[in-house]
């Protein structure tokens, strides 16, 4: 079995002006494709090649001798999840989900503000997530390739806060990128689907 780069679920220019075709050309076509190519290179002719992506991430997490495999596997999973978190059209938050967000954060706008703050608080490269766990909804950040998949939390939504995700369109303005993401680009229908699975 080998790992494959998924197609974007929309045209590369579909999120303009918020996220440009140039960004997708690099982010999906070079960065994500690079992680997949390295993952296939590192797992070829090893028992890892027999595992699902999720099982591979669990099997290599926290293991010094498998750090490179973990990094590329988790980056493949995180990026695949990120593309599925984006929508070309602005979506309203569906009611059942809005009720859960209100319970956890006060209201949907407060959730949005907290999500942006969390993304700003992450030093260096990483990811900001909405997750569902034993305590209900929470916002978490992960560094580099780390993913909530290994902590037993259900991922609902992610924003990539590596500089490669926003530098072409926003240069160093991470806060502007995060605000545009959370206000204009979230695929709330996909978030809802993840919650009900
Ligand atoms: Mn990225």
Ligand 1 centroid to Cα of residue 24, in Å, is 10
pLDDT at 196: 74
Q: End-to-end alpha-carbon separation of the chain, Å?
A: 26
State the average pLDDT for the chain.
Answer: 96
pLDDT, one tens digit per residue, over 15-26 is: 999 999 999 999
Distances (CA, A) of 135 to 27, 100, 104, 113, 142: 33, 12, 9, 20, 18
Ligand 1 centroid to Cα of residue 196, in Å, is 27
pTM over 0.85: yes
Ligand 1 centroid to Cα of residue 104, in Å, is 28
Ligand 1 centroid to Cα of residue 95, in Å, is 30
Structure tokens at 142: 């992960």
How do beta strands 136-143 and 126-133 pair? antiparallel
pLDDT at 134: 87
Residues 20-49 as b or e (16 or more Cβ within 10 Å = b): beebbebbbeeebeebbebbbebbeeeebe
In this prediction, residues 75-89 reach a mean pLDDT of: 98
- Run of H or E including 154: strand 154-160
Spatial contact of 79 and 160, defined as CB atoms under 8 Å apart: yes
- Which residues does residue 154 pair with via DSSP β-bridges, in sequence order? 132
pLDDT at 191: 97
Ligand 1 centroid to Cα of residue 19, in Å, is 13
Distances (CA, A) of 106 to 71, 80, 101, 110: 35, 30, 7, 6
Cis, peptide link before residue 17, omega less than 30° from 0: yes
Asked whether the predicted pLDDT for residue 137 surpasses 80, the reply is yes
Ligand 1 centroid to Cα of residue 88, in Å, is 18
Ligand 1 centroid to Cα of residue 140, in Å, is 17
Asked whether the predicted pLDDT for residue 197 surpasses 80, the reply is no
């Amino acid at each position: 079995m080998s790992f494959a780069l998924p197609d974007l679920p929309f045209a590369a220019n579909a999120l303009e002006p918020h996220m440009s075709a140039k960004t997708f050309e690099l982010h999906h076509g070079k960065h994500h494709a690079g992680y997949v190519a390295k993952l296939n290179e590192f797992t070829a002719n090893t028992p890892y090649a027999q595992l699902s992506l999720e099982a591979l991430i669990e099997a290599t997490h926290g293991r010094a001798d498998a750090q490179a495999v973990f990094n590329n596997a988790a980056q493949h999973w995180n990026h695949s999840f990120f593309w599925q978190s984006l929508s070309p059209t602005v979506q309203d938050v569906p009611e059942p989900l809005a009720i859960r967000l209100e319970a956890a954060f006060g209201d949907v706008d407060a959730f949005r503000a907290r999500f942006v703050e969390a993304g700003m608080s992450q030093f260096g490269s990483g990811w900001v997530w909405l997750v569902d766990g034993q305590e209900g909804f929470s916002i978490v950040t992960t560094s580099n390739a780390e993913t909530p998949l290994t902590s037993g939390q259900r991922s609902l939504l992610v924003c990539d806060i590596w500089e490669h995700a926003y530098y072409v369109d926003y240069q160093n303005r991470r806060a502007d990128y995060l605000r545009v993401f959370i206000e204009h680009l979230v695929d709330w229908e996909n978030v809802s689907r993840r919650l009900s699975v």
